[in-house]
Amino acid sequence: MTFVEKRAGPDDEGRRADRVVRKALSACPLSAVYAALRKGLITVNGRKTEPSFKVTAGDRLEIAAPLASAYAVRSTRVPVVLLDVATETRAGAKGNTAYTSLGETLFQNRFAKIINKPYDVPVHGAGSGGITVAECLRAECAASLSLSFAPAPLHRLDRKTSGVLACSLSIEGAREFSRMLREREIEKRYVAISEGTLGAAECWQDAVSSLPAAGGRFCRVRVGAEGGKSALTEAIPRAHGSYRGRAVSLVEFRIGTGRKHQIRAQASLHGFPLLGDTAYGGTAIRDAQAHFLHAWEMRFPAGNPLEIPLRVAAPLPPPFREILARCLPGGDISRYI
């Protein structure tokens, strides 16, 4: 019988064989995994193995080809076209767009990788043949992938939002980051160009819910915290200027919750839609980006288990810097960000 061979990776170390196999054969019932191990249809290093056997990184897991085919073993191979993430265009993608999908690395250790995500690159599920950050991360880490764990983005940024994005490189990193995020130990700060003149800092607490008519792609907000998920945002003006005769503000947003389109929806509700964000009431512009929203920095607690610095900041992308320089008096943005 033909077997499909897989290698255990670092995050498979010390895990039970049945659990590693169950992750690899994601659609296979646990009872079928036990039966396959008992019959020798799944072996470790060429031998029949008890379900409780502890796997070591580098072990060979051989899975009978019919079983692998029926239950879709997650492949650790990735298209070669993804390997040069700075310049390559994915085969079959529309046009000749080159994706710098992983962007600049801001911080990396054995637990996590934090990048400056480029504008107009999706984190997950690109559709239409586009490349995602998740795909490029798997390509970059292909040599060290584990059967029971795959590196992945740890939170989401909208496709048209650039900036700080954290990705897991180990199970421990994924668990601890998720815990810190859940317990609000991580502070996220954004900057955006909003229409209007925000004169002083404001704190917004509203109800945000998906808009059924738009298939959940967009959100609606209501003043107060009733009738949806509570969204808390602090808006702090950093500078004022104008864009083609229209008053604009450079605004720092600090979010206390992580709702979908939270900043865009709340800024619109309170009279300061993002410049160019026509989906939420902004004025259409003809510029390098549809709108300008950047995940500027993340702040972490001192002595955090992931050994991440207290502050990780992402420089503004060139199109954002250029339009901001045109908007602000004197064009000097270094005074403000």
Domain stops at, among 182, 207, 234: 182
CATH number of residue 20's parent domain: 3.10.290.10
Residue 216 has pLDDT above 70, yes or no: no
Per-residue pLDDT tens over the stretch 11-20 = 888 889 888 8
Among 185, 133, 164, CA closest to 293: 164
State which residues form the domain around 102.
Answer: 80-182
Cross-strand bridge partners of residue 293: 192
Give a yes or no: residue 258 inside a domain: yes
Could you tell me if 277 and 302 lie in one domain? yes
Tell which wins on pLDDT, 26 or 14: 14
Q: Using 50, 70 and 90 to split pLDDT, how confident is the model at 130?
A: low
- Among 53-62, 234-243, 254-263, the range of highest mean pLDDT: 234-243
Could you tell me if 150 and 22 lie in one domain? no
Per-residue pLDDT tens over the stretch 178-212 = 999 999 999 999 999 999 999 999 999 998 887 66
CA 158 from chain center: how many Å? Answer: 8
Tell which wins on pLDDT, 280 or 149: 280
Looking at the structure of the chain, the number of domains it has is 3
Give a yes or no: residue 286 inside a domain: yes
Residue 280 has pLDDT above 80, yes or no: yes
Could you tell me if 173 and 255 lie in one domain? no
Could you tell me if 21 and 64 lie in one domain? yes
CA 4 from chain center: how many Å? Answer: 31
Among 75, 76, 97, CA closest to 87: 97
pLDDT of residue 311: 98
Rounded Cα distance between 163 and 297, Å, is 8
Q: Using 50, 70 and 90 to split pLDDT, how confident is the model at 80?
A: very low
Residue 225 burial (C-beta neighbours within 10 Å; 0-12, 13-18, 19+): middle
Rounded Cα distance between 65 and 76, Å, is 16
Give a yes or no: residue 29 inside a domain: yes
Domain stops at, among 156, 182, 208: 182
Domain stops at, among 39, 71, 103: 71
For 9-41, b/e burial (b = at least 16 CB within 10 A) is: bebbbebbbbbbbbbbbeebeeebbbebbeeeb
User: Could you tell me the pTM of the whole model?
Assistant: 0.76
Could you tell me if 118 and 60 lie in one domain? no
Could you tell me if 170 and 88 lie in one domain? yes
Could you tell me if 322 and 228 lie in one domain? yes
Could you tell me if 300 and 200 lie in one domain? yes
Give a yes or no: residue 97 inside a domain: yes
Could you tell me if 170 and 207 lie in one domain? no
Q: Using 50, 70 and 90 to split pLDDT, how confident is the model at 217?
A: low
Determine contact, residues 127/188, Cβ cutoff 8 Å: no
Give a yes or no: residue 336 inside a domain: no
Could you tell me if 239 and 197 lie in one domain? yes
Among 263, 235, 76, 250, CA closest to 156: 263
Per-residue pLDDT tens over the stretch 150-160 = 889 999 999 99
Query: Out of 66-70, 91-95, 236-240, which region has the weakest mean confidence (pLDDT)?
Result: 91-95
CA 134 from chain center: how many Å? Answer: 7
Residue owning tokens 């490189």: 169
Give a yes or no: residue 337 inside a domain: no
At what angle are helices 17-24 and 30-39 packed, to 10 degrees?
A: 120
Could you tell me if 176 and 191 lie in one domain? no
Give a yes or no: residue 237 inside a domain: yes
Could you tell me if 164 and 235 lie in one domain? no
Q: What is the residue-averaged pLDDT of the chain?
A: 84
CATH number of residue 84's parent domain: 3.30.2350.10
Sign of the dihedral defined by the CA atoms of residues 65, 67, 73, 79, in that order:
positive
Six-digit token string for 75: 């492949």
